[in-house]
Structure 1
């Protein structure tokens, strides 16, 4: 049965189950953001600029196919709905990809290693999108309530926090326990596989009776029509501009492993402990951000506050040095986790609002296309972020190796400091400025309902 949405609260088990679906993909995404570049440079023996370029190229490649994958999910007809079959398919392919990424064959020729890594990263990018695009399209169909979407998304943020614990805490701790060699990365990936498959099946089962929509009779839109439609959706354009800026931080996360190893002189286990504090703070902050949203009624305002909270903590990394009290490092982790919890929640909550705005303006259900464009921006932002890290490290004279303990010049250390402190603070500031132009309030969204089917462009 096709349902166009409902204002009644979604059952909690549906919200929890759908939210848990992101556990596997975000675990892999976080792990690759945090440890992949260092794995490629320090253990596979690929130069930092080359490794970063491979990661960036895979994201750019994926970005170009994401809108097409979104349109594919819009057109899909099955007994399980338009989106849910892709949860299973995407998770299966993603499981294969994560194992292949962290088990690079020991080719004597470094060029063969580069080719292998490039090919696997392309496969991983497609697998990730096959899951994520249909998954992010589901909230706009599951409820038409402005605030219910924030509640639904809060469960996804809880799962994101758990994912960060698994990838950024358990992952580095496993690496430290297993000796930190190439084999340790393989076993870390093997631990991730049942998490990927299990979380996808939970989301698939939990959303069995959730509201959904059937594909329209004609859902093929000429490219020019799509461009005009997206261009007329100003809230969506502003949102993806802001997300482009803030999602660059995902790529910049690659510097954490370098900062802890070469600046703070700490182990992978210490890096895991840092992310444990950050992830727990992200999870624990959700009631705070939902309370603030209820008090203000303005997602944009709460989003701006969340971004502002993290700026002092980012800048404080310039004062960090080997031997600092652990409490300072963990205090930064907590503040950054709280900031990230609010930013993720509000950013994700605004996305289905802009999708509904398109539906109310045009009468067309195109959530997959908008999710595809959104993830395109996500990939491009991550590509630029990680490429910037790699380029900065190479330009500063960072020395790649095969053992993980290669001494680094002072110029490389200074570059790591700059990336760790200045870049995320600048990104957050620009994101706040961009949000000043976002104008889709709850009242405006409801008022747009009279334009359904009339082709309104306001």
Structure 2
């Protein structure tokens, strides 16, 4: 298949404004939104964040089946992008609308329902979005280029959404700040939705293969597809680490570094170096191999996280150096698994003669979603273990045990979880990937 045009790469990459916003902002702000405007206890807030995402583990493979069926019948998955993306934008604003029922239980139940519906809509969008690279090109290096474009735009989207959302909430303050933030980020998601829908109109479509007929066949595929399961395990563990780190940014700014306004600078200090490294990692991967690049990026992230363990005694500037180092590694652990995945899908489709992109993307998205959701849940448990004091106006003084829990959840734990993926990246298992 011929090389993709720059307009196709760019159009596809615009979808990252939707995935980056939804994947980042709830991880940053949903936990403090619950604990510090609704007085929901940390452990309970962690469960609230987890439950809707856990539902996606069940729903996303189903969304993959629907997406594969649409491809077989219509020759396109694009309508799923449009319907899902619009739903995410509207429901995201609803999550942070804070109805003010006058009861913590009622308000928290509203958040659970709105977030559940929003996560469902996101599955409808993200599953076909992740499936497209395996279909619009079958070239090994072209897929890496497409992924690097996607991750480059993703870094910009994360910088805008992840850096701007805390600024909005802190500048306006209180419940109103969260409401305004929800609407603004919803508009960013809408921009990404229409961008990818219109930008992929002329994208090529690979060979249309028959859809896998039933769930029994899908289970058999996953049982036999060892290389996919192995890569999926790495991505899940590392997503869990990233979810834990994101959940800790707001709390670390306030209680480790002593300034709530630093949360935006922490985020920019993390994502900015990642943006710079996005075009560099693919080049390293092309020279030394994707697996080597993936391993090295994981090590770099781990070293940055380890250095942040001393944030309470280090000068602020030194801490930001370690934040930047973790950001450099973060870029690589985003680029390489998404570049390897289409290769594995292509190999499996050649082996079976049937469509695998949709269901693979559904299972992949479910794993990523669960990892990112368990991260805040795990961080919420750490808050509870550290006797964190929940409040309705963010004014409570925290005990030293809570500050220690925040520091470990923001630094050491994410580093350990990302490093756990390194021994799983075995060339003997990921056949055909170098």
Q: Specify if TM > 0.5.
A: yes
The equivalences for 1:395-406 within 5 A come to: 395-406=385-396
Instruction: Tell me if 1:73 matches 2:70.
Output: no
Instruction: Tell me if 1:92 matches 2:92.
Output: no
- Matched residues in 1 for 2:432 and 2:296: separation? 17
> In the alignment, which of 297, 313, 327 is matched to residue 306 of structure 1?
297
Instruction: Tell me if 1:316 matches 2:313.
Output: no
> In the alignment, which of 136, 139, 142 is matched to residue 145 of structure 1?
139
Q: How many residues align?
A: 432
> In the alignment, which of 223, 231, 236 is matched to residue 215 of structure 2?
223
Q: Note if contact 1:274-1:333 (Cα within 8 Å) is conserved in structure 2.
A: yes
Unaligned runs of 5+ in 1: 1-5, 444-458
The equivalences for 1:21-100 within 5 A come to: 21-76=15-70, 81-100=75-94
Instruction: Tell me if 1:281 matches 2:279.
Output: no
Aligned partner of 2:202 in structure 1 is: 209
- Residues 290 and 251 from structure 1, CA distance in 2 versus in 1: closer, same or farther, beyond 3 angstroms? closer
Unaligned runs of 5+ in 2: none
The equivalences for 1:329-344 within 5 A come to: 329-344=319-334
Aligned partner of 1:389 in structure 2 is: 379
Q: Note if contact 2:340-2:433 (Cα within 8 Å) is conserved in structure 1.
A: no
State the Cα distance separating 1:373 from its structure 2 match.
0.7
Instruction: Tell me if 1:272 matches 2:264.
Output: yes
- Residues 423 and 242 from structure 1, CA distance in 2 versus in 1: closer, same or farther, beyond 3 angstroms? same
Larger CA deviation: 300-309 vs 82-91: 82-91
Aligned partner of 1:238 in structure 2 is: 230
State the Cα distance separating 1:190 from its structure 2 match.
1.6
TM-score (norm 2): 0.95
Instruction: Tell me if 1:293 matches 2:292.
Output: no
Larger CA deviation: 326-335 vs 404-413: 326-335
- Matched residues in 1 for 2:50 and 2:137: separation? 35
Q: Note if contact 2:212-2:355 (Cα within 8 Å) is conserved in structure 1.
A: no
Aligned partner of 1:174 in structure 2 is: 168
- Matched residues in 2 for 1:125 and 1:21: separation? 16
Q: Note if contact 2:18-2:188 (Cα within 8 Å) is conserved in structure 1.
A: yes
Q: Note if contact 1:300-1:438 (Cα within 8 Å) is conserved in structure 2.
A: no
- Matched residues in 2 for 1:80 and 1:206: separation? 18
The equivalences for 1:1-20 within 5 A come to: 6=1, 8-20=2-14
Per-residue CA deviation, residues 156-179 of structure 1 (Å, 9 max, x unaligned), is 11121112111221111222222x
- Residues 216 and 148 from structure 1, CA distance in 2 versus in 1: closer, same or farther, beyond 3 angstroms? closer
Per-residue CA deviation, residues 103-156 of structure 1 (Å, 9 max, x unaligned), is 111122211112111111111110111110010000000100111111000011
Secondary structure at the counterpart of residue 254 of structure 1: helix
The equivalences for 1:158-169 within 5 A come to: 158-169=152-163
- Matched residues in 1 for 2:405 and 2:71: separation? 51
Instruction: Tell me if 1:429 matches 2:419.
Output: yes
> In the alignment, which of 254, 258, 266 is matched to residue 261 of structure 1?
254
Secondary structure at the counterpart of residue 333 of structure 1: helix
State the Cα distance separating 1:216 from its structure 2 match.
4.5
- Matched residues in 2 for 1:67 and 1:415: separation? 35
Secondary structure at the counterpart of residue 202 of structure 2: coil
> In the alignment, which of 301, 321, 327 is matched to residue 317 of structure 2?
327
> In the alignment, which of 163, 181, 184 is matched to residue 191 of structure 1?
184
Per-residue CA deviation, residues 29-84 of structure 1 (Å, 9 max, x unaligned), is 20100111011100122111111101111111111111110000000159974311
TM-score (norm 1): 0.90
The equivalences for 1:116-127 within 5 A come to: 116-127=110-121
